Structure 1
Amino acid sequence: MSGRRRGETPPGAAPPPAEYEFIDDLSGIGAVVDALDASSEPIAVDVERASGIRYSERAFLLQLRVPGEPALLVDPETPGRTVGPLATVLSERPLLFHAASQDLPSLRELGIHPTSLVDTELAGRFLGIERVNLAAMISEHLGIGLAKAHSAADWSRRPLPAAWLDYAAYDVLFLHELADEVLPRLDALGRREWFEAECRHLVDSVPAPAAADPWRRLTRLSSLRDARQLARARELWMARDRVAAERDIAPKRLLADAAVIEAARVGPTSRSALLAIDGFDGPQRRRLVGEWLAALEWADGLGREDLPTRQGPPAEHPPHASWKRNEPEAAALLDVAREAIAALADDLGIDQGLLLKPSTLRLWVWRAATTTPADDAELLHEVLREEEAREWQIELTTGPLLEAVRRFRAVS
């Protein structure tokens, strides 16, 4: 295991000077379209966001490159949150990513809906590479050391500093060369088909529906003891989310979860009592005291029938952390099934998450342990199809999981 500290530049030769063009107007975007149309090769793509700073995950910079050419750094904000005709080009051409799942939501906000992609991070995972971040893989496979100094920067800032643009350009300048190095290794291991199926799945996947009660994701919500406190937390969360969206600021940057929970617990009814709670200080938060007090007052005025329950919307199974206490048979099968998947992943030299989503495994375990299926194989395949497992995943995991349930039934 590497002893390198987080943020330290991976070993390798210093990269050549970053070559790029910066585009921040629609006429320039038209020239980008022409430049991309001049090549039939896949287009390397990356996105810079302002995660944890702005409200949405929209793209504040779009990095593009075709082989042999400088990077094209496109600012979608200045022209009015648009990339114009570039959206059509990027929706129709094969794209090359590193960690596509992080960038696809931002691209879709710009009207870009890729129809074909290759993901070098995903390739690294199928090769069993321990560190699959872009800098580590470029260091290992191309011998170039890239500093990752600005990944958490505020990319909504304008103008963007030259050092940031250099950093952004490097995110696409070596992607084609990296793909040329790692993709043939998938062929050598016989895993190209698995990899391509996962890339198609990324293209075909639709965004998950919004959570029914997103406020229940508040950190330490479980520390609140009664329904009135939960109502305060809910109303404060909703007020925070509304103001954050209006001001385009990340909700937790506006008001921390810990402050929301403490105000919900205490139930302050005056300005002074609210400002005495940690997290409500500072000029911006003081100016919003009226918003927070109105949310708390609304929660305190709700009738009992309008108060939230301690439990969230009904799910097919309870949280698996409670199974050992309340459903010991499900917990026992889950342990055996996890061991089977871990052993298979170890044999293949890949991480378990590639073989099966943990949520899919828990769903199958719950149904297998709490019902009496006529055919365990039929139940397993039903769950795997329902959860959109790919064919290669079904082929690899069916045997070990059926053996796990056979062992479980033999002793239960």
Structure 2
Amino acid sequence: MTNFLYKNDLPDDLDLGPMVAIDCETMGLNPHRDRLCLVQMSSGDGHAHMIQIAPGQTEAPNLCKMLADPKVLKLFHYGRFDIAAMFNAFGTLAEPVYCTKIASKLVRTYTDRHGLKNLLDQLIKVDISKHQQMSDWGARDLSKAQLDYAASDVLYLHKLRDRLNEMLVREGRMALAQSCYDFLPTRALLDLEGWPDVDIFSH
């Protein structure tokens, strides 16, 4: 596993390929209050590329170009939050997307455990640590433990997607899942616009 840490944006010449796993670290769970601190990515090759976002930073042109590229599938685990956090920071909506939490909820109806640690352990036999989850991501200098934790959130999403897709096909829910992924960026915008806890489809 190799971690590459960049300041403010991706290098101009970095090509992460047609499918990129993405995760974010923030100062908290309120995107209007808690700033985006780190964006980590992997093409599924065992390397993690990370961008440390400076306080007040509103631009990351190379990252935003990739987020908006219709030829690049963005893989998330609970993409609803990450999509909203990056849109709130940079004004760019990630599309098209795939979310392993949504896929899990559609096919793993025998459990209520859909966290990334549970999925990796049960479906691809990988054990990751969550000890750094609540650490200070706004620190100027991130520790090796923090970077290793951040990397683990993206390094295995490609394999996890493959396994979940097998289950979606088996259960006849692939088309339904795709419809959910297509709506996910809009769901993130609804969160930012003030409907985080309202079911707009209810009576």
> Which blocks of at least 5 consecutive residues in structure 1 are unaligned?
1-17, 212-356, 365-412
After superposition, the Cα gap between the structure-2 partners of 1:34 and 1:186, relative to the gap in structure 1 and judged at 3 Å, is: same
Between the aligned partners of 1:163 and 1:53, the Cα distance in structure 2 is 24
Which residue number in structure 1 is paired with residue 54 of structure 2?
A: 77
2:73 maps to a residue whose letter is P
1:122 corresponds to 2:102: yes
1:185 aligns with 2:167: yes
Please tell me whether residue 196 in structure 1 is matched to residue 173 in structure 2. no
- Name which of 30, 34, 43 aligns with 2:14: 34
Aligned residue in 2 for 1:302: none
Flag the structure with higher helix content.
Answer: 1
Instruction: Give the SS at the match of 1:114.
Output: coil
Structure 2 partner of 1:245: none
1:20 aligns with 2:8: no
**Alignment match of 1:171 (pick from 118, 129, 153):** 153
The structure with the largest strand share of the pair is 2
Larger radius of gyration: 1
Q: Could you tell me how far apart the structure 2 residues matched to 1:143 and 1:173 are? A: 14
- The match for 1:99 is 78
2:35·2:55 contact (CA, 8 Å) conserved in 1?
Answer: no
Shift of 1:196: 0.6
List gaps (5 residues or longer) in structure 2: none
Amino acid in structure 2 at the alignment position of 1:98: H
Map Cα deviations across residues 162-206 of structure 1 (whole Å, 9 max, x no partner).
110100000000010111111111011011111111111112343
Mapped partners of 1:52, 1:177: distance in 2: 27
Aligned to 2:114: 132
CA distance in 1, matches of 2:31, 2:184: 25
TM-score (norm: length of structure 2): 0.85
Q: Post-superposition shift, 1:19?
A: 2.1
How many Å separate the matches in 2 of 1:53 and 1:103?
A: 11
- Asked if 2 retains the 8 angstrom alpha-carbon contact of 1:19 and 1:71, the reply is yes
Q: Deviations over 1:123-168 (max 9, x none)?
A: 0000114311000100001111111112222211111111101000
Contact 1:99 1:119 in 2 (8 A): yes
Distance 2:103 2:114 in 1: 9
Deviation at 1:52, TM superposition (A): 6.5
Instruction: Return structure 1 stretches of 4+ with deviation > 6 angstroms.
Output: 52-55
How far the C-alpha of 1:76 sits from its partner, in A, is: 1.9
How far off its partner does 1:69 sit? 4.4
Query: What are the superposed Cα offsets for residues 82-112 of structure 1, whole Å, 9 maximum, x if unpaired?
Result: 3222211121121000001111111102233
Identity %: 21
RMSD between aligned residues? 2.4
Letter in 2 for 1:19: T
Q: Contact 1:24 / 1:78 at 8 angstroms: preserved in 2?
A: no
How far 1:58 moved relative to its partner?
3.0
Distance 2:60 2:98 in 1: 22
Deviation at 1:77, TM superposition (A): 1.2
Q: Name the SS for the 1:118 alignment partner.
A: strand
Number of equivalent positions: 194
